């Protein structure tokens, strides 16, 4: 049971409620609030979105070490993601999940380090977990926003802006609808930089931001912690 809870905890971090914002376009809107596409710069929305999508497409093959900090009503927490294809690592305060290119290890670092090894060689459940934090996941949401604007849904507004996270220049897209807002940012190198939501329905402000970035990782990071007790999952 402890490991079941641990794996569930690892998946927490990104404000997932922000993804649901794409459905808000079906709500009622007043005629005096027409759909708007606000462009901050000379480029059109399509070209700026294409730039983000192009950057995000390189993420799967990139090498990086990323730390994100989440802030919201539940407090502050951090997670670290590392990748050196095909190796991947996901780490939180409760432990880490490691894929060394052959097998996946779930390691709890509460007290004595204990690791459960996923028994199927070459298969990595970590891949789907990493997708939650992948820039491409949010590009798909941004694409749906563009479709809503094309359908002339009233009261819907999207704007573009530039920002820096962990020193990385990033392109941001902000969605707004009847007092609710969602903002996604992707670095120019193609990794997720920021997810934020605020407004009437958000219950406060929730942010998930890139706070550390490096294009280099240590190969030893993908090794099982020294002295760990290892058991095999059935």
Beta-ladder partners of 84: 87
List the structure tokens of 109: 């670092």
Go through 211-224 and write b for each residue having 16 or more CB atoms within 10 A of its CB, e for each that does not.
Answer: eebeeebeeeebeb
User: How many other C-beta atoms are found inside a 10 Å radius of the C-beta of residue 80?
Assistant: 15
Domain that holds residue 19: 2-232
Report if pTM > 0.85: no
Reported confidence tier of residue 225, pLDDT bands at 50, 70, 90: confident
Are residues 130 and 121 in contact, defined by beta-carbon separation less than 8 angstroms?
Answer: no
How far is the C-alpha of 176 from the C-alpha of 109, rounded, in Å?
Answer: 41
What residue ranges in 40-113 does DSSP mark as E strands?
Answer: 64-72, 75-84, 87-92, 95-99, 104-108
- For 38-71, the pLDDT digits (tens) are 333 334 667 788 888 889 999 989 999 999 999 9
- For 126-171, the pLDDT digits (tens) are 777 788 888 888 888 877 776 666 665 667 778 889 999 999 999 9
DSSP state letter for 208? E
How far is the C-alpha of 209 from the C-alpha of 211, rounded, in Å?
Answer: 6
Q: Evaluate the omega torsion of the peptide bond into residue 117 and state whether it is cis, within 30 degrees of 0.
A: no
List the structure tokens of 178: 């009847």
Q: Residue 108: which CATH number?
A: 2.50.20.10
Residue of 199, 153, 151 lying closest to 28 (CA atoms): 153
Cα–Cα distances in Å, from 217 out to 62, 66, 83, 94? 11, 10, 8, 21
Domain count, the chain: 1
Q: What percent of the chain has pLDDT over 70?
A: 73
């Amino acid at each position: 049971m402890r490991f079941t809870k641990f794996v569930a905890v690892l998946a927490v971090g990104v404000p997932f409620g922000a993804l649901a914002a794409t459905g808000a376009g079906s709500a009622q809107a007043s005629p005096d609030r027409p759909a708007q596409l606000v462009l901050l710069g000379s480029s059109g929305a399509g070209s700026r979105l294409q730039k983000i999508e192009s950057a995000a497409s390189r993420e799967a093959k990139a090498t990086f070490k990323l730390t994100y900090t989440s802030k919201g009503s539940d407090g502050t927490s951090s997670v670290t993601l590392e990748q050196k294809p095909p190796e991947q690592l996901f780490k939180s305060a409760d432990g880490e999940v490691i894929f060394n290119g052959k097998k996946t290890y779930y390691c709890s670092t509460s007290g004595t380090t204990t690791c459960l090894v996923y028994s199927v060689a070459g298969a990595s459940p970590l891949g789907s977990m990493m997708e939650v934090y992948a820039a491409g996941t949010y590009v798909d949401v941004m694409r749906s926003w563009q479709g809503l604007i094309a359908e002339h849904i009233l009261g819907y507004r999207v704007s573009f802006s530039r920002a820096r996270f962990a020193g990385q220049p990033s392109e941001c897209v902000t969605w707004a609808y009847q007092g609710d807002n969602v903002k996604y940012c992707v670095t120019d190198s193609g990794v997720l930089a920021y997810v934020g939501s605020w407004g009437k329905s958000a219950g406060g402000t929730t942010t998930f931001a890139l706070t550390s970035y490096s294009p280099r990782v240590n190969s030893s990071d993908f090794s099982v912690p020294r002295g760990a007790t290892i058991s095999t999952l059935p």
